[in-house]
Each structure stands twice: as structure tokens, then as C-alpha cells.
Amino acid sequence: MKTTNYILGMDGGGTKTVARLVNTQTGQSWQSQGGPSSLSLGVQSAVDVIAQQAEVLAQQAGIKLSDVSLLCGLAGASEHSLCQTAQQRLNPHFAQVEICSDAKTSAWGANQGAPVAVVALGTGSVAMELNEQGTETLIGGWGLLAGDEGSGARFGLHAIHAFLWELDSNQALSATGRYLGSMAGLQRTDILRWLRTAKSTDFAALLPAIWQLQNHCTVAQALVQQHLQAVIRLIGIMDTKLPLMMIGGLADITAPLLPASIQQRMRPALGDALDGACILAEQLFAPSGTCNVRQA
């Protein structure tokens, strides 16, 4: 790896991409946010979002992209072929490019590079253990078709299942069902059209309104409990000797509802996946003796 004075860390998920450009000589930084860049939503769309955010930050800093070393932690990057294709398309524009999974950047950010068991809950879900020897163990991250337990997308998918069951069994629609009918339609043709084009982000977008219904809708209550049980199951297979931390868009609403035994194990995260991307970028790309770019 070459060393450069400008490093760019990115955290790309199914809902948004956040980026931070840092001048490692001065510590000055610039930050931006854009659309989703999960590789599972399409490599080219992810590359376009990454390049757009990089251009915005490079212009703010008054530099060229060829001056920048980029490290991205992306959802879907565990699939090597997608990761490799994205890296090939980005390589010509930057001094150098490294792409890894968002699980890796989450683990390195949550406890600032120290050992940790981290659970990241957002549009998708993934967990990773980082032990004393620096060995990383990935847990989950299989995507919506077969995994994403405890994620917003999985929650929304379960909600749609419940809604369709209400329709098929000719039940009176619950408050949750009425809400989903307003989003996906009430006629088979409309629902099939919605399902045909729905992505993880569309399923995840259903969660906030249903979460608000849980105090007066038994279907919403059951969906929240199903979500919690999935998170508990995920945590249950992680190393209990490591500090447990939770990050991501669903962390703050999920953690208070978990059993006391889990809450007692949990520690506040010291950073997030974007911090992790910058920590890793600093290790790979920054000249020795430069300022520390970590931000809690």
C-alpha cells in the first residue's frame, strides 16, 4: 500500500452512505451523506453513490480524487465477486481502494479497534467478533433471502407476511394491516406489483410506523417480539468474554427492550462503522507519525 495524506472512509448500507475525508497531516476533515451503497442492491449503483460522495468531499477539500485513498465498509461485500467488481470500477479514480464488509468496519469502530462482540442492526443485520489476537469472526450477514435476522428489512418482510395472511384468511385488518394496505395496496394486482419491485430498503421503511403501533395492535406487538427474539438469538451465539456493543439505526430502540441479562453485558459503543472505516484506512494508508484520525 502507498501512503497518502488524504484518506476517505465510507460506511455504505441499504439505506444510506456516510463518508469522511481526512487530511492526515492536519487532522482537518469533511463529512457527507448520500444514498444507499449496499452491493446487494447493485454494484454499479453502489459505485455511483461512492464516487458521487467522494467527488463532493474532494471538491470541498480542494483536491483531486487521485490524491485520495479510499476504504469502504459495504453491506454485501462478503460476496467476493461483488466486492472485486466494485473495487475494479473504483480503482481508476483513486490513489488506492480497499473494500471490506460493513461488519469489519462496525467491529473496528464500535470499540475503537479493541476486542469486541458487535451487533449491527440497520436495513440489514450482521455481527462480528474481534478478539485479543485481532482475529475477526463474521456472524450472519447472509442477506434478506436467508438471513438479516433482527434487521429492519426482515421486520418489514415479516410484517408483509402477517398482512397477507390477514387478507387470505378474510380477517378484519389489524391496525398494522391497514397501514400496510395503504403502502402496498389492498388488491392482489397492486400488492404483487409492490412485491415485484420491493427491495430491502422498502421492507425496512415499514418498521417505524409499525413500531409505533405496538402499544395498541397485537400484530405489531408480535412483530416487535419476533424482532427481539431474533436479536437475542444472534447475541446468544457470541463470545460472552468479549465486550458486547450494538450499533446501527435500530440499536437505540432495540437495546432497551432486551432482557436485563443482556443489557447488563452491553457497553456503550465508542464509535460506529464510519469510525471503523477511518481507523482501518489510517492503518493501511496514512504515513507514520501523522495525526490520529479516530473520532468517537
117-138 average pLDDT score: 89
pLDDT for residue 293 is more than 80: no
The confidence band for 5, taking pLDDT boundaries of 50, 70 and 90, is confident
Q: Could you report the per-residue pLDDT of 7-56, keeping only the tens digit for each?
A: 999 999 888 999 999 998 888 999 999 999 999 889 999 999 999 999 99
The confidence band for 1, taking pLDDT boundaries of 50, 70 and 90, is low
Q: Within this chain, do residues 249 and 117 fall inside the same structural domain, yes or no?
A: yes
Q: Within this chain, do residues 236 and 154 fall inside the same structural domain, yes or no?
A: yes
Q: Within this chain, do residues 143 and 241 fall inside the same structural domain, yes or no?
A: yes
Residue 292 counted as domain residue: no
Residue 249 counted as domain residue: yes
Q: Within this chain, do residues 54 and 167 fall inside the same structural domain, yes or no?
A: no
Give the total number of structural domains in the chain: 2
Residue 1 counted as domain residue: no
Alpha-carbon distance of 106 to 178, in angstroms, equals 36
Q: Within this chain, do residues 265 and 119 fall inside the same structural domain, yes or no?
A: yes
Q: What is the DSSP string of 159-220?
A: HHHHHHHHHHTTPPPPHHHHHHHHHH-SSHHHHHHHHHH--HHHHHTTHHHHHHTTTT-HHH
Alpha-carbon distance of 230 to 57, in angstroms, equals 38
* Rg of the chain (C-alpha set): 20
Alpha-carbon distance of 77 to 83, in angstroms, equals 5
Q: Within this chain, do residues 232 and 145 fall inside the same structural domain, yes or no?
A: yes
Q: Within this chain, do residues 133 and 244 fall inside the same structural domain, yes or no?
A: yes
pTM above 0.85, yes or no: no
Residue 78 counted as domain residue: yes
Domain of 261 in residue numbering reads as 113-269
pLDDT for residue 288 is more than 80: no
CATH number of the domain bearing residue 16: 3.30.420.40
Q: Within this chain, do residues 263 and 124 fall inside the same structural domain, yes or no?
A: yes
Residue 296 counted as domain residue: no
Q: How many CB atoms lie under 10 A from the CB of residue 171?
A: 10
Residue 134 counted as domain residue: yes
Q: Within this chain, do residues 121 and 72 fall inside the same structural domain, yes or no?
A: no
> Are 10 and 277 spatial neighbours (Cβ–Cβ below 8 Å)?
yes
Q: Within this chain, do residues 66 and 163 fall inside the same structural domain, yes or no?
A: no
What pLDDT is stored for residue 170 in this prediction? 84
Return the amino acid letter for 69: S
What pLDDT is stored for residue 2 in this prediction? 62
Strand segments, DSSP code E, in 42-189 are 68-74, 96-101, 116-121, 125-130, 136-140
Q: Within this chain, do residues 92 and 192 fall inside the same structural domain, yes or no?
A: no
Beta bridge partners of 7: 22, 69
Q: Could you report the per-residue pLDDT of 64-115, keeping only the tens digit for each?
A: 999 999 999 998 888 889 999 999 999 999 999 999 988 899 889 999 889 9
Residue 295 counted as domain residue: no
Residue 150 counted as domain residue: yes
What is residue 113's three-state secondary structure? Answer: coil
State percent of the chain over pLDDT 70: 96
Q: Measure CA 29 to chain center.
A: 22
Q: Within this chain, do residues 45 and 101 fall inside the same structural domain, yes or no?
A: yes
